[in-house]
C-alpha cells in the first residue's frame, strides 16, 4: 500500500514537499494558520532557491507541506509568485501571512527568522508566494 506520503505523491505527481518554519513549534503554528484560513501567503529568501531549483514555487503547482516529523500535513496550490525586497513587503502581504496583526510585527518575526537561517539584510530579496489550501491531510495520518 505504501506510506501516506507515497499515496499523496501519487495523487499529486508534480508536487514538491516542504516544511513551514524552522522548528517544530513554529511549523505546527503555521500549519494551524493555513488550516484556519488565516495564512494564505508565505515567503523565503531568494538565496535559498538556486537557479532552476525545483523548490521554487510555481503558479498552478500543488505542493505538499510536511509536519516536522515528515508526515504529509497539507496540500497547497501556488496562486502567485513574486520577488520583493524585505524592505518593500506591503502590509497587505504581511497580513496575508497570518502570523502577525501588523507589518511591524511581521518585520520583527521575519528578521529574526532570517537571522537564524543564513543572515538578514533589509534589502534582501524574498520569494513571496500566495497560495490556497487544496487538501488537509491530517485525517489520513
CATH of domain 4-140: 3.10.400.10
Per-residue pLDDT of the chain (141 residues; tens, 9 = 90+): 579 999 999 999 999 999 999 999 999 999 999 999 999 999 999 999 999 888 899 999 999 999 999 999 999 999 999 999 999 999 999 999 999 999 999 999 999 999 999 999 999 999 999 999 999 998 654
Q: What is the pLDDT of residue 141?
A: 46
Q: What is the pLDDT of residue 140?
A: 53
pTM: 0.93
Q: What is the pLDDT of residue 2?
A: 72
Domain edges within the chain:
4-140
Contacts 24+ apart (CB under 8 A), 28-35: 28/67, 28/68, 29/99, 30/99, 31/65, 31/67, 31/73, 31/74, 33/98, 33/99, 34/65, 34/74, 34/76, 34/98, 34/133, 35/74, 35/133, 35/136, 35/138
Minimal CA–CA distance to 76: which of 138, 118, 4, 15? 15
Amino acid at each position: 500500500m505504501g506510506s501516506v506520503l507515497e499515496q499523496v505523491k501519487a495523487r499529486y505527481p508534480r508536487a514538491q514537499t516542504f516544511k513551514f518554519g524552522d522548528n517544530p513549534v513554529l511549523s505546527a503554528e503555521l500549519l494551524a494558520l493555513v488550516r484556519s484560513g488565516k495564512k494564505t501567503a508565505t515567503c523565503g529568501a531568494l538565496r535559498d532557491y538556486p537557479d532552476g531549483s525545483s523548490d521554487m514555487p510555481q503558479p498552478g503547482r500543488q505542493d505538499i507541506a510536511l509536519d516536522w516529523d515528515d508526515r504529509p500535513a497539507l496540500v497547497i496550490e501556488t496562486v502567485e509568485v513574486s520577488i520583493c525586497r524585505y524592505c518593500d513587503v506591503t502590509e497587505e502581504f504581511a497580513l496575508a501571512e497570518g502570523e502577525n496583526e501588523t507589518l511591524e510585527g511581521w518585520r520583527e518575526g521575519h528578521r529574526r527568522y532570517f537571522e537564524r537561517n543564513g543572515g538578514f539584510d533589509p534589502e534582501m530579496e524574498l520569494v513571496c508566494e500566495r497560495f490556497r489550501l487544496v487538501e488537509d491531510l491530517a485525517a489520513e495520518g
